[in-house]
Structure 1
Amino acid sequence: MSYEVISETASFGGVQGYYKHTAETLKCDMRFSVYMPPQAQEGKVPVLWYLSGLTCTEDNATVKAGFQRVASELGLMIICPDTSPRGEGVPNVEEYDFGQGAGFYVDATEKPWAEHFKMYSYITKELPSVIAANFAAADMEKQGITGHSMGGHGALTLFLKNQDVYKSVSAFSPIVAPMKCPWGQKALPGYLGDNPNVWAEYDACALLRKLGSVDTEILIDQGLADNFMEGQLKPELFEDACEATGQQLKLRRHEGYDHGYFFIATFMEDHLRHHAGVLTA
């Protein structure tokens, strides 16, 4: 469970760090970032996981989302993992929406991906173990999860399948129904094979209809100038699933906002306060 410090620097009274470790689950070295708020110097603090989207790394939200100021105020530890295994020997393709940078937070079963692409297990098991072993201030009894696009898909599906672990959830412009959009229709068979029942285990709409509603409200923000909204994201499908199951959903649509980090930075504070309201209650 050892790790290497890449860098640590003061930020809003806390510490923004970058770290690296050898991930047994993924059979490669992995980087991640952790923001430790100033409250971490005095005791345990809640943990919020941020899962990034296609082509992204641990750096995107850490640099662009602007979460440090509000996380410092609220006393939230923010963890940003990478989006896939990487490095020499890890399979890859030319396309941006499959392979390295596009792990889709699944445990692959198909060759050649199965050996390395176990992002579901990495995010839910191995990396939390590294955090618990090395960051004493992390309160692993108070974890929330959020993410953007592919990472929003990851946040919703991981939350629904691990409600004993995650107490709060939100997403920015998530892929809510990968079985019904081109990104998912490429990734799910590619990583998981031809069985739609297996795909459904990584589809937020299908999971919600299967598992039923949860006690906490789900927050989703979606930009109406997002070029991916109609073809890939389809927020109305999750809206329908929530209505069918009685799930509390706050789905906010915003004129003029696209799929990028200006949008995310605008509403990040709302998401942090949403999580803090649950995790510190």
Structure 2
Amino acid sequence: MKPIHLAVGKFNVDVIVKVNKIPEIDFSLNTDVFEILPGGSATNYCVAVTRLGHTSKLLSKVSKTEIVKPLMAHLAEEGVGLDLVEEINSPPNYALILLRENGNISMIRRTSNSLLPTAEDVAKYNRIFDVTHFASIPANVISKVSKLITYDPGAYSKAYEGEKVDILFVNKKEYADVKNKINAKLTVIKKGSEGAMIYGDDEECYSEALKTDVIDTTGAGDVFDAAFNVFYLNGNNLEDVLRYANVSAGLKVSRIGGTSSPTLEEVVQTLKKVKINAKCR
């Protein structure tokens, strides 16, 4: 039976626009990329998990508005379990993603607090799932409802107060916010093109990144988290877990959109062709 992941977080309507500059007043710019896609860290995580061979369910709240329906249908086609998604009367969460020529992004968000899952929502599903991943939501939502609890605070890193988790995922900037408060068995620091590191369990591990042409970094960290958890649950050693996670994120950044994660076959074949150095000590 496939391991089942529960991802707790926000569902966003991602509007991705490729621009190299903001047009001046009364001027316009043309773009060759204007996409409306399902997004949000938990959403991206779920799609990545299913493509890597595990089962995923999304615990979130979404707006009943028409723009959301085809995006949810897309997730269903990907195999994401949506039976824990609650539809409510609220404006949707939007993320306007400004995509640069080099693949880097800036983001403008409109978030409705009524669409945030709560600790009470999570507590209903105690011990049902193999792992519960809390994605870019406040730490006060975290509940010990699975054997493995993982957390990526994202924009909420400054509010993290040492809530206990098994695996904490952060990028370099977020690590500076949390480093004196960490209460996790493993801390994973994502460094983009510089690779990733693990601290904890009396081990320190490093893996280099996959060198690739960067098109869009949206969701790369979410895909990394998903791949890390998938291969960690599969029983791989930490060096290989880091390799798989870095390759998965590297393949994702070569594509548009946060849900454009690679399949298991793509990851395996890439690792057969490319050597990714990783070392624990």
Q: Structure 1 length as normaliser, TM-score?
A: 0.30
Q: Structure 2 length as normaliser, TM-score?
A: 0.30
> Higher strand fraction: Structure 1 or Structure 2?
2
> Higher helix fraction: Structure 1 or Structure 2?
1
